Structure 1
Amino acid sequence: MRGRQLRRAEICLLVTVAAVPVAACGSERETVERPTVPRGMDRQADSDADRLAAEKAALDAYAGYLAASRAASGRSDPHAPELSRFLADPLLTRVQMSILQAKEHGAMRTGTLKSDPTVTSVSLDSKPATVEIQDCLDATGYRLVYAKDRRVVPGSGGGRHLATATATRYPDGRWLISSGAAHQDQPC
Protein backbone atom coordinates (compact mmCIF):
# COMPACT_ATOMS: atom_id res chain seq x y z
CA MET A 1 0.00 0.00 0.00
CA ARG A 2 2.82 2.40 0.94
CA GLY A 3 4.55 1.64 -2.38
CA ARG A 4 1.40 2.60 -4.27
CA GLN A 5 1.25 5.99 -2.45
CA LEU A 6 4.89 6.69 -3.30
CA ARG A 7 4.21 5.86 -6.94
CA ARG A 8 1.27 8.33 -7.03
CA ALA A 9 3.44 11.01 -5.43
CA GLU A 10 6.15 10.45 -8.04
CA ILE A 11 3.61 10.75 -10.86
CA CYS A 12 2.18 13.98 -9.40
CA LEU A 13 5.67 15.43 -9.01
CA LEU A 14 6.59 14.46 -12.56
CA VAL A 15 3.41 16.05 -13.98
CA THR A 16 4.04 19.24 -11.97
CA VAL A 17 7.66 19.50 -13.14
CA ALA A 18 6.66 18.89 -16.74
CA ALA A 19 3.96 21.57 -16.64
CA VAL A 20 6.07 24.34 -15.07
CA PRO A 21 8.27 25.11 -18.13
CA VAL A 22 5.17 25.51 -20.37
CA ALA A 23 3.57 27.95 -17.97
CA ALA A 24 6.81 29.88 -17.61
CA CYS A 25 7.12 30.47 -21.38
CA GLY A 26 3.70 31.98 -21.95
CA SER A 27 0.07 31.63 -21.11
CA GLU A 28 -1.38 28.18 -21.55
CA ARG A 29 -4.01 29.59 -23.90
CA GLU A 30 -1.46 31.03 -26.33
CA THR A 31 0.59 27.85 -26.45
CA VAL A 32 -2.24 25.36 -26.64
CA GLU A 33 -5.02 27.00 -28.67
CA ARG A 34 -3.24 28.94 -31.42
CA PRO A 35 -0.19 31.05 -32.02
CA THR A 36 -0.33 34.78 -31.42
CA VAL A 37 -1.60 36.65 -34.49
CA PRO A 38 -0.96 40.36 -34.99
CA ARG A 39 -3.96 42.47 -33.98
CA GLY A 40 -6.43 42.83 -36.88
CA MET A 41 -5.08 39.88 -38.85
CA ASP A 42 -7.56 37.45 -37.30
CA ARG A 43 -10.45 39.73 -38.31
CA GLN A 44 -9.05 39.90 -41.84
CA ALA A 45 -8.92 36.10 -42.02
CA ASP A 46 -12.51 35.92 -40.75
CA SER A 47 -13.71 38.46 -43.34
CA ASP A 48 -11.86 36.63 -46.14
CA ALA A 49 -13.50 33.37 -45.04
CA ASP A 50 -16.92 35.08 -44.90
CA ARG A 51 -16.38 36.53 -48.38
CA LEU A 52 -15.37 33.17 -49.85
CA ALA A 53 -18.35 31.47 -48.19
CA ALA A 54 -20.69 34.13 -49.61
CA GLU A 55 -19.21 33.74 -53.10
CA LYS A 56 -19.62 29.96 -52.97
CA ALA A 57 -23.19 30.16 -51.65
CA ALA A 58 -24.14 32.73 -54.30
CA LEU A 59 -22.62 30.68 -57.14
CA ASP A 60 -24.37 27.56 -55.82
CA ALA A 61 -27.69 29.45 -55.79
CA TYR A 62 -27.02 30.69 -59.33
CA ALA A 63 -26.26 27.19 -60.61
CA GLY A 64 -29.40 25.96 -58.85
CA TYR A 65 -31.42 28.74 -60.47
CA LEU A 66 -30.24 27.80 -63.95
CA ALA A 67 -30.90 24.10 -63.38
CA ALA A 68 -34.33 24.71 -61.82
CA SER A 69 -35.45 27.08 -64.56
CA ARG A 70 -34.26 24.67 -67.29
CA ALA A 71 -36.16 21.80 -65.64
CA ALA A 72 -39.33 23.85 -65.09
CA SER A 73 -39.19 25.23 -68.65
CA GLY A 74 -38.72 21.72 -70.04
CA ARG A 75 -41.87 20.55 -68.21
CA SER A 76 -43.75 23.81 -68.86
CA ASP A 77 -44.33 24.04 -65.10
CA PRO A 78 -44.29 27.64 -63.86
CA HIS A 79 -45.04 26.50 -60.30
CA ALA A 80 -42.21 23.98 -60.02
CA PRO A 81 -41.15 23.91 -56.35
CA GLU A 82 -37.44 23.94 -57.20
CA LEU A 83 -37.79 27.48 -58.54
CA SER A 84 -38.51 28.90 -55.07
CA ARG A 85 -35.53 27.02 -53.64
CA PHE A 86 -33.16 29.22 -55.65
CA LEU A 87 -35.14 32.29 -56.71
CA ALA A 88 -36.76 35.21 -54.91
CA ASP A 89 -38.93 38.03 -56.17
CA PRO A 90 -38.90 39.91 -58.40
CA LEU A 91 -36.96 37.37 -60.51
CA LEU A 92 -39.05 34.40 -59.33
CA THR A 93 -42.24 35.99 -60.69
CA ARG A 94 -40.55 36.96 -63.98
CA VAL A 95 -39.31 33.39 -64.55
CA GLN A 96 -42.71 31.91 -63.66
CA MET A 97 -44.48 34.32 -66.03
CA SER A 98 -42.06 33.51 -68.85
CA ILE A 99 -42.67 29.76 -68.44
CA LEU A 100 -46.45 30.35 -68.22
CA GLN A 101 -46.49 32.46 -71.40
CA ALA A 102 -44.52 29.83 -73.32
CA LYS A 103 -46.92 27.14 -72.05
CA GLU A 104 -49.98 29.18 -73.11
CA HIS A 105 -48.51 29.41 -76.63
CA GLY A 106 -47.83 25.66 -76.76
CA ALA A 107 -44.07 26.08 -76.42
CA MET A 108 -41.38 24.81 -74.11
CA ARG A 109 -37.60 25.03 -73.76
CA THR A 110 -35.33 22.15 -74.64
CA GLY A 111 -31.62 21.53 -74.89
CA THR A 112 -28.68 22.68 -72.83
CA LEU A 113 -27.66 26.06 -71.56
CA LYS A 114 -23.94 26.47 -70.87
CA SER A 115 -22.80 28.82 -68.15
CA ASP A 116 -19.49 30.25 -66.96
CA PRO A 117 -20.30 32.58 -64.04
CA THR A 118 -17.91 34.74 -62.05
CA VAL A 119 -18.44 36.91 -58.98
CA THR A 120 -17.93 40.60 -59.73
CA SER A 121 -18.63 42.05 -56.27
CA VAL A 122 -19.48 41.05 -52.73
CA SER A 123 -21.22 43.39 -50.32
CA LEU A 124 -21.53 41.73 -46.93
CA ASP A 125 -21.99 45.02 -45.06
CA SER A 126 -25.12 46.04 -46.97
CA LYS A 127 -28.57 45.20 -45.63
CA PRO A 128 -29.27 42.63 -47.03
CA ALA A 129 -25.90 41.25 -48.09
CA THR A 130 -25.53 40.80 -51.84
CA VAL A 131 -23.22 39.17 -54.37
CA GLU A 132 -23.15 40.32 -57.99
CA ILE A 133 -22.58 37.64 -60.64
CA GLN A 134 -21.66 38.00 -64.29
CA ASP A 135 -22.03 35.13 -66.73
CA CYS A 136 -21.39 34.31 -70.35
CA LEU A 137 -24.41 32.20 -71.25
CA ASP A 138 -24.19 29.96 -74.28
CA ALA A 139 -27.76 29.35 -75.43
CA THR A 140 -26.85 27.99 -78.88
CA GLY A 141 -28.12 24.55 -77.83
CA TYR A 142 -31.08 25.83 -75.81
CA ARG A 143 -34.20 26.32 -77.91
CA LEU A 144 -37.82 27.35 -77.55
CA VAL A 145 -39.80 24.66 -79.41
CA TYR A 146 -43.44 23.83 -79.98
CA ALA A 147 -44.44 21.11 -77.52
CA LYS A 148 -46.48 19.13 -80.10
CA ASP A 149 -43.87 18.58 -82.80
CA ARG A 150 -40.61 19.99 -81.34
CA ARG A 151 -40.23 22.51 -84.19
CA VAL A 152 -38.14 25.53 -83.23
CA VAL A 153 -40.23 28.64 -82.60
CA PRO A 154 -39.21 31.21 -85.24
CA GLY A 155 -37.09 34.05 -83.89
CA SER A 156 -36.14 32.22 -80.72
CA GLY A 157 -32.62 31.20 -81.68
CA GLY A 158 -30.05 31.52 -78.94
CA GLY A 159 -26.46 32.63 -78.95
CA ARG A 160 -23.71 33.57 -76.55
CA HIS A 161 -24.44 36.66 -74.50
CA LEU A 162 -23.68 38.39 -71.23
CA ALA A 163 -26.00 37.84 -68.26
CA THR A 164 -25.94 39.40 -64.80
CA ALA A 165 -27.58 38.35 -61.55
CA THR A 166 -27.78 39.42 -57.94
CA ALA A 167 -27.74 36.90 -55.11
CA THR A 168 -29.24 38.16 -51.85
CA ARG A 169 -28.82 36.67 -48.37
CA TYR A 170 -32.21 36.42 -46.68
CA PRO A 171 -32.82 36.50 -42.89
CA ASP A 172 -33.03 32.69 -42.75
CA GLY A 173 -29.45 32.56 -44.08
CA ARG A 174 -30.32 31.33 -47.58
CA TRP A 175 -28.77 32.93 -50.63
CA LEU A 176 -31.35 33.37 -53.40
CA ILE A 177 -31.11 34.92 -56.85
CA SER A 178 -33.36 37.97 -56.62
CA SER A 179 -32.67 39.76 -59.89
CA GLY A 180 -31.14 38.97 -63.21
CA ALA A 181 -30.88 40.21 -66.76
CA ALA A 182 -29.85 38.74 -70.09
CA HIS A 183 -27.90 41.25 -72.17
CA GLN A 184 -28.47 39.68 -75.58
CA ASP A 185 -27.03 42.76 -77.27
CA GLN A 186 -23.67 42.09 -75.58
CA PRO A 187 -22.02 38.97 -76.99
CA CYS A 188 -19.29 37.25 -75.03
Structure 2
Amino acid sequence: MRVRHSRRWATCLVVTVAAGIPTGCGGAAQPSGEPVPGAPAAAEARPDAAAEEAAGKAALAAYSGYLAASGTASRRGDPRHPELARYAADPLLTRVRLAIREAKEHGAMRTGKLVSDPTVTSVDLASTPPTVEIQDCLDATGWRLVYAKDHRPVPGARGGRWLATATATRYPDGRWLISTSASHQDQPC
Protein backbone atom coordinates (compact mmCIF):
# COMPACT_ATOMS: atom_id res chain seq x y z
CA MET A 1 0.00 0.00 0.00
CA ARG A 2 2.83 2.40 0.82
CA VAL A 3 4.46 1.81 -2.58
CA ARG A 4 1.20 2.59 -4.36
CA HIS A 5 0.85 5.86 -2.38
CA SER A 6 4.52 6.68 -3.06
CA ARG A 7 4.02 6.15 -6.77
CA ARG A 8 1.01 8.46 -6.80
CA TRP A 9 2.77 11.36 -5.08
CA ALA A 10 5.99 10.74 -7.03
CA THR A 11 4.09 10.89 -10.31
CA CYS A 12 2.28 14.02 -9.16
CA LEU A 13 5.58 15.65 -8.21
CA VAL A 14 7.24 14.71 -11.50
CA VAL A 15 4.31 16.06 -13.49
CA THR A 16 3.98 19.24 -11.43
CA VAL A 17 7.64 20.20 -11.27
CA ALA A 18 8.60 18.95 -14.70
CA ALA A 19 5.71 20.69 -16.32
CA GLY A 20 7.75 23.79 -16.33
CA ILE A 21 10.79 22.36 -18.00
CA PRO A 22 10.52 22.06 -21.80
CA THR A 23 12.74 21.46 -24.83
CA GLY A 24 11.59 22.28 -28.36
CA CYS A 25 9.74 19.18 -29.49
CA GLY A 26 8.53 19.19 -32.97
CA GLY A 27 9.03 22.31 -34.91
CA ALA A 28 7.05 25.05 -36.46
CA ALA A 29 6.85 25.10 -40.20
CA GLN A 30 9.72 27.02 -41.70
CA PRO A 31 8.90 29.74 -44.20
CA SER A 32 10.00 28.99 -47.74
CA GLY A 33 11.62 32.38 -48.09
CA GLU A 34 9.59 33.20 -51.19
CA PRO A 35 7.04 36.01 -50.98
CA VAL A 36 3.44 35.18 -51.73
CA PRO A 37 2.27 37.19 -54.75
CA GLY A 38 -0.02 40.04 -53.68
CA ALA A 39 0.79 39.59 -49.96
CA PRO A 40 1.92 42.68 -48.04
CA ALA A 41 5.48 42.81 -46.79
CA ALA A 42 6.03 41.35 -43.31
CA ALA A 43 6.64 44.74 -41.76
CA GLU A 44 3.42 46.09 -43.22
CA ALA A 45 1.35 43.05 -42.22
CA ARG A 46 2.65 42.94 -38.64
CA PRO A 47 3.49 46.34 -37.25
CA ASP A 48 3.61 44.83 -33.75
CA ALA A 49 6.14 42.12 -34.65
CA ALA A 50 8.83 43.79 -32.55
CA ALA A 51 6.51 43.92 -29.53
CA GLU A 52 5.62 40.24 -30.01
CA GLU A 53 9.28 39.28 -30.30
CA ALA A 54 10.10 41.22 -27.11
CA ALA A 55 7.18 39.54 -25.31
CA GLY A 56 8.38 36.12 -26.45
CA LYS A 57 11.91 36.79 -25.18
CA ALA A 58 10.61 38.05 -21.83
CA ALA A 59 8.33 35.00 -21.49
CA LEU A 60 11.18 32.61 -22.29
CA ALA A 61 13.36 34.36 -19.69
CA ALA A 62 10.58 33.92 -17.11
CA TYR A 63 10.21 30.27 -18.10
CA SER A 64 13.95 29.60 -17.76
CA GLY A 65 13.94 31.37 -14.40
CA TYR A 66 10.95 29.33 -13.29
CA LEU A 67 12.66 26.06 -14.20
CA ALA A 68 15.87 27.06 -12.42
CA ALA A 69 14.00 28.25 -9.31
CA SER A 70 11.78 25.16 -9.14
CA GLY A 71 14.85 22.94 -9.61
CA THR A 72 16.71 24.66 -6.78
CA ALA A 73 13.64 24.59 -4.52
CA SER A 74 13.11 20.86 -5.29
CA ARG A 75 16.73 19.98 -4.56
CA ARG A 76 16.61 21.87 -1.26
CA GLY A 77 13.09 20.75 -0.32
CA ASP A 78 12.17 24.42 0.13
CA PRO A 79 8.61 25.22 -1.00
CA ARG A 80 9.09 28.86 0.10
CA HIS A 81 12.23 29.41 -1.96
CA PRO A 82 12.02 33.14 -2.79
CA GLU A 83 12.92 32.73 -6.47
CA LEU A 84 9.73 30.73 -7.11
CA ALA A 85 7.53 33.81 -6.68
CA ARG A 86 9.87 35.81 -8.88
CA TYR A 87 9.09 33.65 -11.93
CA ALA A 88 5.82 31.80 -11.22
CA ALA A 89 2.29 32.93 -10.41
CA ASP A 90 -0.83 31.17 -9.26
CA PRO A 91 -2.23 28.69 -9.91
CA LEU A 92 1.16 27.18 -10.88
CA LEU A 93 3.04 28.67 -7.92
CA THR A 94 0.75 27.00 -5.39
CA ARG A 95 0.89 23.64 -7.24
CA VAL A 96 4.69 23.64 -7.28
CA ARG A 97 4.95 24.64 -3.62
CA LEU A 98 2.54 21.88 -2.60
CA ALA A 99 4.42 19.27 -4.64
CA ILE A 100 7.76 20.28 -3.09
CA ARG A 101 6.27 20.26 0.40
CA GLU A 102 4.70 16.84 -0.14
CA ALA A 103 7.99 15.40 -1.42
CA LYS A 104 9.80 16.80 1.62
CA GLU A 105 7.19 15.32 3.98
CA HIS A 106 7.81 11.93 2.33
CA GLY A 107 11.58 12.35 2.72
CA ALA A 108 12.23 12.88 -0.99
CA MET A 109 14.20 15.41 -2.98
CA ARG A 110 15.40 15.99 -6.53
CA THR A 111 18.89 15.36 -7.83
CA GLY A 112 20.48 15.82 -11.21
CA LYS A 113 19.57 18.14 -14.01
CA LEU A 114 16.47 18.76 -16.07
CA VAL A 115 17.24 19.73 -19.66
CA SER A 116 15.05 22.23 -21.47
CA ASP A 117 15.06 24.05 -24.81
CA PRO A 118 11.73 25.91 -24.97
CA THR A 119 10.15 27.65 -27.93
CA VAL A 120 7.37 30.21 -28.20
CA THR A 121 4.34 28.81 -30.02
CA SER A 122 2.07 31.87 -29.83
CA VAL A 123 1.93 35.44 -28.57
CA ASP A 124 -1.35 37.22 -27.83
CA LEU A 125 -0.76 40.80 -26.78
CA ALA A 126 -4.40 41.74 -27.46
CA SER A 127 -5.77 39.42 -24.76
CA THR A 128 -6.41 40.65 -21.24
CA PRO A 129 -3.93 39.93 -19.77
CA PRO A 130 -1.42 39.40 -22.59
CA THR A 131 -0.11 35.82 -22.85
CA VAL A 132 2.65 33.82 -24.48
CA GLU A 133 2.35 30.06 -25.04
CA ILE A 134 5.52 28.00 -24.68
CA GLN A 135 6.26 24.44 -25.76
CA ASP A 136 9.13 22.36 -24.50
CA CYS A 137 10.47 18.85 -24.76
CA LEU A 138 11.69 18.09 -21.26
CA ASP A 139 14.57 15.70 -20.86
CA ALA A 140 14.28 14.33 -17.34
CA THR A 141 16.59 11.35 -17.84
CA GLY A 142 19.09 12.92 -15.43
CA TRP A 143 16.47 14.48 -13.11
CA ARG A 144 15.70 11.99 -10.36
CA LEU A 145 13.35 11.91 -7.39
CA VAL A 146 15.24 10.16 -4.57
CA TYR A 147 14.92 9.64 -0.85
CA ALA A 148 16.98 12.33 0.90
CA LYS A 149 18.25 9.91 3.55
CA ASP A 150 20.03 7.44 1.26
CA HIS A 151 19.47 8.72 -2.33
CA ARG A 152 17.56 5.59 -3.35
CA PRO A 153 15.17 6.29 -6.27
CA VAL A 154 11.55 6.80 -5.24
CA PRO A 155 9.37 3.98 -6.66
CA GLY A 156 7.19 5.15 -9.54
CA ALA A 157 9.33 8.18 -10.33
CA ARG A 158 10.49 8.00 -13.88
CA GLY A 159 12.66 10.00 -16.18
CA GLY A 160 12.43 10.29 -19.92
CA ARG A 161 11.60 12.88 -22.53
CA TRP A 162 8.13 14.29 -23.02
CA LEU A 163 6.23 17.31 -24.23
CA ALA A 164 5.51 20.14 -21.81
CA THR A 165 3.53 23.34 -22.31
CA ALA A 166 3.38 26.54 -20.31
CA THR A 167 1.64 29.91 -20.37
CA ALA A 168 3.42 33.12 -19.49
CA THR A 169 1.18 36.00 -18.46
CA ARG A 170 2.09 39.69 -18.30
CA TYR A 171 0.96 41.17 -15.01
CA PRO A 172 -0.04 44.83 -14.42
CA ASP A 173 3.42 45.64 -13.03
CA GLY A 174 4.92 44.58 -16.40
CA ARG A 175 6.45 41.29 -15.24
CA TRP A 176 6.00 38.12 -17.25
CA LEU A 177 5.29 35.16 -14.95
CA ILE A 178 4.58 31.51 -15.69
CA SER A 179 0.99 30.96 -14.59
CA THR A 180 0.22 27.49 -15.95
CA SER A 181 2.25 24.51 -16.98
CA ALA A 182 1.42 20.99 -18.04
CA SER A 183 3.52 17.91 -18.60
CA HIS A 184 2.32 15.54 -21.31
CA GLN A 185 4.17 12.34 -20.41
CA ASP A 186 2.03 10.39 -22.87
CA GLN A 187 3.59 12.46 -25.69
CA PRO A 188 7.27 11.58 -26.00
CA CYS A 189 9.51 13.87 -27.98
Structure 2 length as normaliser, TM-score?
0.76
Q: Which has the higher helix share?
A: 1
- 3-state DSSP of counterpart to 1:58: helix
- 3-state DSSP of counterpart to 1:116: coil
**Residue 129 in structure 1 maps to residue 130 in structure 2:** yes
**Residue 51 in structure 1 maps to residue 52 in structure 2:** yes
Alignment of 1:5-24 (within 5 A): none
Find the counterpart in structure 2 of residue 169 from structure 1: 170
Amino acid at match of 2:106: H
Find the counterpart in structure 1 of residue 181 from structure 2: 180
Structure 1 length as normaliser, TM-score?
0.76
1:114 is displaced (CA, Å) by: 0.4
- Aligned pair count reads 149
Find the counterpart in structure 1 of residue 67 from structure 2: 66
Find the counterpart in structure 1 of residue 107 from structure 2: 106
Amino acid at match of 2:153: V
Show structure 1 runs of 4+ deviating over 4 A: 41-46
- 3-state DSSP of counterpart to 1:97: helix
Q: Point out where structure 2 has 5 or more consecutive residues left out of the alignment.
A: 1-41
Find the counterpart in structure 1 of residue 152 from structure 2: 151
In 1, are the aligned partners of 2:43 and 2:49 still within 8 Å (CA)? no
Mapped partners of 1:125, 1:65: distance in 2: 24
Find the counterpart in structure 1 of residue 15 from structure 2: none
Mapped partners of 2:79, 2:156: distance in 1: 22
After superposition, the CA RMSD in angstroms is 1.6
Q: Point out where structure 1 has 5 or more consecutive residues left out of the alignment.
A: 1-40
Q: Which is greater in Rg?
A: 1
Mapped partners of 1:169, 1:97: distance in 2: 24
Question: Residues 16-55 of structure 1: CA distance to partner in whole angstroms, max 9, x if unpaired?
Answer: xxxxxxxxxxxxxxxxxxxxxxxxx988675111001000
Amino acid at match of 1:126: S
Higher RCO (Cα < 8 Å, 6 or more apart): 2
Mapped partners of 1:52, 1:91: distance in 2: 24
